[in-house]
Structure 1
Amino acid sequence: MSDLLERLKTEILVADGAMGTLLYANGLDNCYESYNLSNPQEVSRIHQAYINAGADIIQTNTYSAKRHRLKAYGYENNIKEINQAGVKIAREAAGDEIFVLGTVGGSRGLKQCDLTLEEIIDQTIEQVTYLLDGKLIDGLLFETYYDVEELLAVLEAVRPITDIPIITNLTLLEPGITQNGQPLVEVLSNLVMLGADVVGLNCHLGPYHMIKSLKQVPLFAQSFLAVYPNASLLEYSVDGNSNRFGFSQNAEYFGKSAELLVAEGARIIGGCCGTTPEHIRAVKRVVRGLKPIERKLVTPLVAEEELIAASKQNETLVDKVKRDITVIAELDPPKTLDITKFVEGIKALDQAGLAAITLADNSLARTRICNVSLAAYLKNDLTTPLVLHLACRDYNLIGLQSRLLGMDVLGFDHILAVTGDPSKMGDFPGATSVYDVTSLKLLSLIKQLNSGKGYSGGSIKKATDFTVAAAFNPNVKNLSRCGRLLDKKISSGADYFITQPIFNIETIDALSQLTVPYETPFFIGIMPITSYNNAVFLHNEVPGIQLSEDFLARLEEVKEDKKTCEKLGLEESKRLIDKALEYYNGIYLITPFLRYDLTIELANYVNEKREQTDLLLLDKTS
């Protein structure tokens, strides 16, 4: 057992505060970890400032020194040098009296991480290997882990390769509960069982909410508690012509809070974002005469009222398509406030016997009237359920959850979750594409709301009842390789799939081979061609779209005859529907240019096919 764990048996140790806050304040705003190579004197000066303030423990400047994070700045080939330089600088500053922790930050944070869990573990092991080389550190600190699965997996992978102390710090968005809704005490207990020597919290929350969180946490027999609060909640200010984000300069308050953290069992107290040597000096003054507590009265997290999901009054689309041939249709909201034809079209579709009508969300990044507003406007005039598309492009996480909660309040419980085409494709190419998350994360967010929890893990007091579709584009070169994407979307929460429009028989055949292993229903996208020019554009300018040469040739022969072109387009769509119905029960009709009359004709055709199928089955059973 190392000296660090021996000291923690009888002492409260003070850790350092933020590194990035001070580097940023000194004008260094690129890759902080690269300063281990380019500006080691500044990194060392910050270490020394914390030691002079009374820190018993400092951490290496290696928080984001994993390969994928360094790659964003072009330093991925310097990973070994950056990590080992970080250890060397900290060790030289600390000498023999101060403990040094090798720091590893979480990968799955508030922003999307495209790495698989296996890739994250591999990159973490790589970084840890460099930190351990030379045996200059006294422990490993895994901090700012929002994702419980990641932290548990990382600990399980790292624990067998070293016997030095390991500290694991979770980050919470809500006091006392993790992002996936688990009670903090449950997750910390699991970390202790996997071999963490110290467990605790850091980042996002200030002292007040961390004290509140620790009230539910007992003293563990095999592990100690650590806590690294932010200086405060993040504050926003305007300085001249620039906007600034910062933290309260509240060192005295921060120090006084340390006494309450000790009373909740903390034996390592440091600081995270916004903290400075002044904060650490204030903590040291307060804890200098304090001893660790040996017993504690735990205050359980206040139980929320039992969540009762509203019982489903109607059969969902998933239920219907599993049982019978089912048709849904898409209608794009209008681009202008003249909604006369749109209202006329959606009311006509409402009478066509469809299972649902879907409303797109600024498809192709072209600005249209808000689909939720139109749905609310028309709700009382329609009997057909509405499926609302939701694009990640236009909303940050705050907006996405807000929009979903609003949909639930309005009674719209069918959603198509899409990432959304980039803004530069549309009519406002200078607009910003948000993409806080992709459709995969949006799917899991919707399912989390269905469990009665928001993105932060906190209760929303009532479970939503969303049925959610995922989009799938079969118009790719190597369709056979797309199984992994389907698996990801299903595991993220997709109840069924809606495909992009398909324009040739071969693609339907290939898709049927890909989807053999899946029980998740598919609605096959069919969009009628309205003119020769429309067909030539799709065939030549839209990536992945291929129309049959025979169909193009037939259209070209009559390209000046609009009615005949439409007739050929409908015949081709019916041929594709016939092929799709060989494999699937779901047909998704996409209305071109508000030509809802074409959609209604195709819907009637599918309904006739269904009736014929039902009669054949009846004959066989009678």
Structure 2
Amino acid sequence: MGLLDELKTRILTADGAMGTLLYSYGIEYCNEELNLQRPEIIEKIHQEYIQAGADIIQTNTYGGNALKLARYGLENQVKEINEAAIRIAKRAAAPGGQFVFGTIGGIRGIRKSDATLEEIITMVDQQAGYLLAGDPDALLLETYYDFEELAATVTHLRKATNVPLIAQVSMHEPGILQNGMALNEALHQLEALGADIVGVNCRLGPHHTIQALEEVALPQKAFLSAYPNASLLDLENGRVVYESEADYFGRAGLLLREEGARLIGGCCGTTPKHIEALKKRIGHLKPVTEKEVVKKKPIIIREAEALEEAPLHEKAKTERTIIVELDTPRHLDITKFLEGSKALSAAGVDAVTMADNSLASPRVSNLAMGSILKHQEQIRPLAHITCRDRNLIGLQSHLMGLDALGIHDILAVTGDPTKVGDFPGATSVYDVSSMELIQLIKKLNEGISFSGKPLRKKANFSVAAAFNPNVRVLDRAVARLEKKIESGADYFISQPVYTKDKIIEIYEATKHLETPIFLGVMPLTSIRSAEFLHNEVPGIKLSEDALERMRACGDDKERATAEGIQIAKELIDAAAELFNGIYVITPFFRYDMSLELIDYIRQLDIQKESDNSHVKTAN
């Protein structure tokens, strides 16, 4: 009798974790390579689960695709690894006639950039082909956080094979997928796409898995599955552990059965003892055919508070808008920073922007300084946020804090690697790229957490993205801007530009975009600083003309300052004709130079308005 026929009248017990047992043996390398190097260990684990009462075992191929194997230099051994895995599992199951599932693991987590759908389908097609050649009883698609990826995979495999498909999602929060979709909706969509068994696995322990399934109606044709973790994970002496008694897991199986699950196994932290306890509790029971679905009261997501001022990107579409960067100090004396910020505000800048530990060197938190500017000085702050210093937990917490403080203008950047800064041995996090961070921030604007759960209120961030026009092929940089717009960027802030020709080139290359660009201008202070910027700071390139003019100043500081200001004014002449947004970058805390440039921009605008007025009068 086939798998699906068995599930019509029985509850089947699947095996538990493979990686947990290998980890307990001290193996912390590539689990899938053991199919080739130590097949006896893999077969022994299969046999232990069979002896514990498992009706089903799965191949040791969760990470058996080219992308995951590439981490170990094994991307060219996809065929050998998957073929060995199905042989080992088949051999272990032969005496008792257990079902064998060919396992394919999800690829994407939070980061969609890990692989495109086209790349994923190519890898799935390759891995599934080798597994199917070994005649498995089903293909198990497990640990899929990205619903788009799982839906595409099910759709593709359903066209390629009639072998039963098990499609299992993973959740950060009970009952809600990463994209905010309700679990009930997701599982029924997967059923409609052709999955024969739909369910959940990993991340959550039995308690939260049961809680999630309470809201799931029984599928019309498919069957439900559940592979919870043993518990929430913990760290003990630097090693991952799962605290869960086997009997507790077995008792949880009774409740999973009441929620309609017919295929029940274990994920991370589960062992043959957990499966043995599970089998004893549910092995003799019949499946439920009716259940009462718990309908929880929906969480109301409030609209964001109205902004006190128009978003910068909206203002820059129609009128001159000036933002000025002033780095927060690298020491604890904030007096001069506040003096500079107040002077800039008095000069009429629209916002003071603050980098997030620029050049990977620690500075006073721009969240703290932004709060002081906004609430004590009534100055509009624009806070940069890098992906370098915070993991996903820290990023969301930081953004929630900004929202609570009423700071809504932000620039999302990847951030310079730690090797360039004061602590080259520090870790660069980079859980996400700047493009993905923009997408996540836009989720907050919908009132949805990075994990998919509702946040009870919408944020209202205006999100800028970085633009580096100082590249050899500007078209590629513009193509990246277009991708950032697709991700949700409201406007762009550019690196400083040092030639009029480059400014015109930027305008011509971007004039088709409706998204405003704040063009960066940074006055030079000396030939030493100019050469430092040109040769050592990522994303900044000076013209040979600018370098020569600064060299001509020699060690005369006043002359160098004046020349730096003059070069910047000439650039502003070109920029102000083509862009409403001007981004003045204060060099080495010389906000006096920024003040002079702000005044110059205002005078240009006054003169232009006067000229236009005379033209209208003459007409």
TM-score band w.r.t. shorter chain: over 0.9
Say whether the 8 Å CA contact 2:495–2:540 is kept in structure 1.
Answer: no
| Inter-partner Cα distance in structure 1 for 2:502 and 2:88 | 59
| Inter-partner Cα distance in structure 1 for 2:139 and 2:512 | 43
Change (3 A) 1:304 1:544: closer
Q: How does 1:535-546 map to 2 (within 5 A)?
A: 535-543=530-538, 545-546=540-541
Q: How does 1:69-108 map to 2 (within 5 A)?
A: 69-95=68-94, 97-108=97-108
Change (3 A) 1:88 1:582: farther
Corresponding letter in the other structure for 1:161: A
The worse-fitting range, judged by mean Cα deviation, of 519-528 and 104-113 is 104-113
Say whether the 8 Å CA contact 1:176–1:183 is kept in structure 2.
Answer: yes
Partner of 1:157: 156
* 1:337 shift after superposition: 1.4
Say whether the 8 Å CA contact 1:225–1:268 is kept in structure 2.
Answer: yes
Say whether the 8 Å CA contact 1:159–1:195 is kept in structure 2.
Answer: yes
Give CA-to-partner distance per residue, 1:31-59, whole Å, 9 cap, x none: 00000000000001111111111111111
Change (3 A) 1:434 1:299: same
| Inter-partner Cα distance in structure 1 for 2:91 and 2:113 | 34
Partner of 2:423: 428
Corresponding letter in the other structure for 1:122: T
* 1:22 shift after superposition: 0.5
Say whether the 8 Å CA contact 2:494–2:518 is kept in structure 1.
Answer: yes
Corresponding letter in the other structure for 1:222: K
Partner of 2:583: 588
* 1:621 shift after superposition: 5.5
Give CA-to-partner distance per residue, 1:469-518, whole Å, 9 cap, x none: 11121222222122442233222221111111112233323322332332
Partner of 1:35: 34
| Inter-partner Cα distance in structure 2 for 1:617 and 1:149 | 53
The worse-fitting range, judged by mean Cα deviation, of 417-426 and 295-304 is 295-304
| Inter-partner Cα distance in structure 2 for 1:549 and 1:150 | 49
* 1:542 shift after superposition: 3.7
* 1:225 shift after superposition: 0.5
Change (3 A) 1:123 1:613: farther
Change (3 A) 1:487 1:8: farther
* 1:84 shift after superposition: 1.0
Partner of 1:228: 227
The worse-fitting range, judged by mean Cα deviation, of 400-409 and 480-489 is 480-489
| Inter-partner Cα distance in structure 1 for 2:565 and 2:452 | 49
Corresponding letter in the other structure for 1:55: A
| Inter-partner Cα distance in structure 2 for 1:619 and 1:280 | 87
Change (3 A) 1:385 1:167: same
Change (3 A) 1:534 1:468: same
1:553 to 543, 548, 551: 548
* 1:293 shift after superposition: 1.1
* 1:423 shift after superposition: 0.9
Name the SS of the counterpart of 1:30 in structure 2: coil
| Inter-partner Cα distance in structure 1 for 2:497 and 2:514 | 21
Structure 2: gaps (5+ residues): none
| Inter-partner Cα distance in structure 2 for 1:590 and 1:121 | 45
1:478 to 473, 477, 485: 473
Aligned residues: 616
Change (3 A) 1:66 1:583: farther
1:118 aligns with 2:118: yes
Partner of 2:178: 179
Partner of 1:45: 44
* 1:620 shift after superposition: 5.5
* 1:329 shift after superposition: 0.5
Corresponding letter in the other structure for 2:146: D
Q: How does 1:557-576 map to 2 (within 5 A)?
A: 557-576=552-571
The worse-fitting range, judged by mean Cα deviation, of 590-599 and 120-129 is 120-129
Say whether the 8 Å CA contact 1:350–1:382 is kept in structure 2.
Answer: no
Name the SS of the counterpart of 2:589 in structure 1: coil
Corresponding letter in the other structure for 1:200: G
Normalised to the residue count of structure 1, the TM-score between the two structures is 0.96
2:354 to 334, 356, 359: 359
| Inter-partner Cα distance in structure 2 for 1:188 and 1:618 | 65
* 1:369 shift after superposition: 0.9
Partner of 2:7: 8
Q: How does 1:449-488 map to 2 (within 5 A)?
A: 449-488=444-483
* 1:333 shift after superposition: 0.4
Say whether the 8 Å CA contact 2:524–2:565 is kept in structure 1.
Answer: yes
1:291 aligns with 2:280: no
| Inter-partner Cα distance in structure 1 for 2:37 and 2:450 | 39
The worse-fitting range, judged by mean Cα deviation, of 522-531 and 381-390 is 381-390
2:380 to 381, 385, 405: 385
Partner of 2:210: 211
Partner of 2:239: 244
| Inter-partner Cα distance in structure 1 for 2:549 and 2:172 | 60
Give CA-to-partner distance per residue, 1:517-543, whole Å, 9 cap, x none: 321111111100111222222233345
The worse-fitting range, judged by mean Cα deviation, of 538-547 and 56-65 is 538-547
* 1:617 shift after superposition: 4.5
Name the SS of the counterpart of 1:78 in structure 2: helix
Change (3 A) 1:201 1:495: same
| Inter-partner Cα distance in structure 2 for 1:243 and 1:160 | 45
* 1:578 shift after superposition: 2.3
1:523 to 518, 526, 531: 518
* 1:156 shift after superposition: 1.8
| Inter-partner Cα distance in structure 2 for 1:411 and 1:218 | 41
Say whether the 8 Å CA contact 2:373–2:380 is kept in structure 1.
Answer: no
Partner of 1:61: 60
Name the SS of the counterpart of 1:563 in structure 2: helix
Partner of 2:24: 25
Give CA-to-partner distance per residue, 1:229-252, whole Å, 9 cap, x none: 000111233xxxx32321014110
Say whether the 8 Å CA contact 2:60–2:103 is kept in structure 1.
Answer: yes
| Inter-partner Cα distance in structure 2 for 1:585 and 1:43 | 64
Say whether the 8 Å CA contact 1:354–1:384 is kept in structure 2.
Answer: no
Name the SS of the counterpart of 1:593 in structure 2: helix
* 1:595 shift after superposition: 0.6
Partner of 1:323: 318
| Inter-partner Cα distance in structure 1 for 2:225 and 2:68 | 26
Say whether the 8 Å CA contact 1:14–1:57 is kept in structure 2.
Answer: yes
Corresponding letter in the other structure for 1:86: A
RMSD (Å), alpha carbons = 1.7
Structure 1: gaps (5+ residues): none
The worse-fitting range, judged by mean Cα deviation, of 446-455 and 474-483 is 474-483
Normalised to the residue count of structure 2, the TM-score between the two structures is 0.96
